[in-house]
Structure 1
């Protein structure tokens, strides 16, 4: 009854609440006799004093005569925020951030060959050839259609948004790629490792400068930059410049001025995957690279520290991003030599520090927990051991009674206590003296006896040793 009255009488607006002498506010719509009852109980408690807690009926206010306030009840139905509303409130600034298009104006593709390709794929002839397995499709023609239709640029744009490339490179800026970057790393046996949009390339595969091509007019000027978005070891929101060539004429990389020579990716061990982005800028005029005073083949990471946002902000009048390609890379064993001999530094390694699990002390028992009372001291010590050591010990015992053709040679002992005398010995009494009682002269401790019984019954750690025959090849068992 109390909760019902509180729901109907409670109002979330402070303008509808009136002062009450007992608690400071009164609830609009509540009955007078409810308020008078609450007021009488409050007066009774004030007379008794606040030196100690009231006992008896005075210390326990009946819920049927007291109306709970809003801070005791919590918000009503429909007032709590949903998970999506909480996330929107948490990332309000990020979601409402005004984004700026810093690229070229996006044009709709006039070439309808992509639509024509879909229409031709539904023809009966191609359908019949596909069913018969004789359909041949030229990948070069398909690639040309995807590029000319602009579908490849939409895929790059969506992938860059998904991986947060625009946000980490240009903050509030973004652009729609309009120039297709064809990037590939050379591998042994004339194999190539291409860079698409977020594919994984190992550091040993990206150790040598890649081959980069794009279509361009002869009088166009370009700038190519390769940066790592996640690899900086000391400064937050900063990058390492792995490669930078400015003032490129046409698509000839050799005609440009190399500001930074190529440096391979070096994600430290334990840091997961790092993003590496190629950005191709269209230049309106040549850029003065004399402001970079370092050597182009420097291996000093402090000199390689770079910010794409600051670089673009300083040259935004002459630069317009037009092409984008990026890949991911994580640690491999080839970086050990790179850190020691190229960067001349100790290889950094990162790992998570997990808190050790809480283990109840041996001398603390709870009589309600039957397992803790009957647990042996050896099982308590096993909680502090490496689980791999326990598994190794159990495996060795399993192999000791396993035949390669017959399987388990020990079998299962259904009643191990019936054979307790077979594996238990007693301390012999001196010659001529009365023998000791069996209860006080056992050589095998009780906890060891219990462990033997569990081992015989294939319980606890030894449950994995319960098998009758080995796994065999299905082809040989027929």
Structure 2
């Protein structure tokens, strides 16, 4: 039985007390002050550990995600896999034109210097249109028709919105696509009216059909693309006004937060007229499957040209959706939960406490702080990084804490999200 000194004094008078006091439940004090050792204060290549509290914070390790593989499903060796017959892509278009390309060489040393320093600018309109590697790289063939399918560009087809042309993957704003493309015949004589789209005349008696779809704009559960324009049965060498406009033009609608959308212009060639049903003009009725459309008219139509552009979001998308009595959706990135380890008194890998606390904050909140700081500047489009990372480097180095000063230097870098984010472009 143990009791405190006060309890012992109340129970037993002084003259009856023993020569030695009994043991009391007083906490034992350590003889030496526990600390993390001198290694906690050594600087390393990652953090400047010059504070005592940095030795008590543990840096979390990123644990890789492990996947369980069933060996019965991967019993085939690499040699057996290489011996298999590779699937040859199917050409669903016309045969490629037999055109001889003469390589052009230049001995200009200035061009070589610009190319070596990555400052050489190339006019995208001067590139060879017969090269399909860019279209295959963006997966346009695959998402329009099917896997292992391609076709050669055998008919000249040019599209432009005013001063903004459509090539093979160039970037356009959604506002650039508000006007209806004008389609005229590709003539040898100069044209007074600015040509927005031109179709090559390859023979009398034929017809052309233009299909414009957005490969990434379908937000409904129904599979397919969003149809922006469909003009069928355009007589060869005639204006688009002489064709049958089944779907009126609608500007590209890349929703906020979904990135770039591939707006594709497909040209189909056929010798007889095709029967195309009228399609509604609202957004729900514009869900269209190019693969099913081609499968239905496979015996009649043949693809002859393809162009596409990557379209980005701007405020015109919101206005276009509101004009159709629709709400403008907002898509946000879903951040994965960060891995955090328990805090230890003597960690093996210490880290500054500000970085430790940031891992408990919401990633969206961290990005919002950077955006809020940017909006506090003079203007959204006129924010220029400072000339120096810290104008008062000597004074701030003395007054500010090391972690606070390092965050100030990191925030003022030109590549910081404060000066380079989605609002700037």
TM-score class normalised by the smaller sequence: 0.5 to 0.7
Q: Which structure shows the bigger proportion of residues in helix conformation?
A: 1
Which residue is 2:404 aligned to?
461
CA distance 1:353–1:249, shift in 2 (3 Å): same
- 8 Å CA contact retained: 1:153, 1:178: no
Q: Deviations along 1:385-412, whole A, 9 cap, x unmatched?
A: 666899999xxxxxxxxxxxx9479676
CA distance 1:153–1:127, shift in 2 (3 Å): closer
Which residue is 2:172 aligned to?
201
Could you tell me which of 141, 163, 170 is aligned with 2:138?
163
CA distance 1:319–1:463, shift in 2 (3 Å): closer
Task: Say which structure, 1 or 2, has more relative contact order (CA 8 Å, 6+ apart).
Answer: 2
- 8 Å CA contact retained: 2:206, 2:272: no
Alignment of 1:293-442 (within 5 A): 293-295=278-280, 298-299=281-282, 301-342=283-324, 344-357=325-338, 366-369=344-347, 407=392
Which residue is 1:69 aligned to?
none
Could you tell me which of 247, 256, 261 is aligned with 1:274?
261
Q: Partners in 2 of 1:305 and 1:365 — Cα distance?
A: 53
Q: Deviations along 1:335-378, whole A, 9 cap, x unmatched?
A: 11111113x21111111121444556xxx753332898x999x9
Shifted more, 384-393 versus 252-261: the winner is 384-393
CA distance 1:357–1:99, shift in 2 (3 Å): closer
Which residue is 1:185 aligned to?
161
The structural deviation recorded for 1:154 is 2.5
Report the structure number with the largest CA radius of gyration.
Answer: 1
Alignment of 1:244-283 (within 5 A): 244-251=230-237, 252-283=239-270
TM value normalised by structure 2: 0.57
The structural deviation recorded for 1:326 is 0.9
How many pairs are equivalent? 289
The structural deviation recorded for 1:99 is 2.9
Q: Partners in 2 of 1:178 and 1:221 — Cα distance?
A: 15
When the two chains are superposed, the root-mean-square deviation of aligned CA atoms in Å is 4.4
Alignment of 1:221-240 (within 5 A): 221-235=207-221, 237-240=223-226
- 8 Å CA contact retained: 2:156, 2:200: yes
CA distance 1:368–1:215, shift in 2 (3 Å): same
CA distance 1:302–1:215, shift in 2 (3 Å): same
Which residue is 1:152 aligned to?
128
Q: Partners in 2 of 1:203 and 1:335 — Cα distance?
A: 7
Which residue is 1:107 aligned to?
97
Q: What secondary structure is seen at the aligned counterpart in 1 of 2:144?
A: helix
CA distance 1:180–1:407, shift in 2 (3 Å): same
Q: Partners in 2 of 1:357 and 1:457 — Cα distance?
A: 29
Alignment of 1:15-164 (within 5 A): 96-109=86-99, 114-115=101-102, 118=104, 152-155=128-131, 157-164=132-139
Which residue is 2:37 aligned to?
none
Runs of 4+ in 1 over 6 A off after TM superposition: 79-82, 378-383, 388-393
Shifted more, 326-335 versus 378-387: the winner is 378-387
The structural deviation recorded for 1:250 is 1.8
Q: What secondary structure is seen at the aligned counterpart in 2 of 1:241?
A: strand
- 8 Å CA contact retained: 2:352, 2:403: no
Q: Partners in 2 of 1:389 and 1:335 — Cα distance?
A: 23
Q: Deviations along 1:398-445, whole A, 9 cap, x unmatched?
A: xxxxxxxx94796766xxxxxxxxxxxxxxxxxxxxxxxxxxxxxxxx
Q: Deviations along 1:170-228, whole A, 9 cap, x unmatched?
A: 10432111011111101xxxxx1111111111100111112211221443211111011
The structural deviation recorded for 1:458 is 3.3
The structural deviation recorded for 1:273 is 1.1
CA distance 1:206–1:367, shift in 2 (3 Å): same
- 8 Å CA contact retained: 2:222, 2:287: no
Q: What secondary structure is seen at the aligned counterpart in 2 of 1:205?
A: helix
Task: Please list every run of 5 or more consecutive structure 1 residues that lacks an aligned counterpart in the other structure.
Answer: 1-74, 132-141, 187-191, 394-405, 414-455, 467-478
- 8 Å CA contact retained: 1:270, 1:349: yes
The structural deviation recorded for 1:287 is 1.1
Q: Partners in 2 of 1:80 and 1:102 — Cα distance?
A: 33
Q: Deviations along 1:8-48, whole A, 9 cap, x unmatched?
A: xxxxxxxxxxxxxxxxxxxxxxxxxxxxxxxxxxxxxxxxx
The structural deviation recorded for 1:257 is 0.3
Task: Please list every run of 5 or more consecutive structure 2 residues that lacks an aligned counterpart in the other structure.
Answer: 1-70, 113-122, 182-195, 374-390, 410-425
CA distance 1:282–1:370, shift in 2 (3 Å): closer
Which residue is 1:469 aligned to?
none
Which residue is 2:117 aligned to?
none
Which residue is 2:38 aligned to?
none
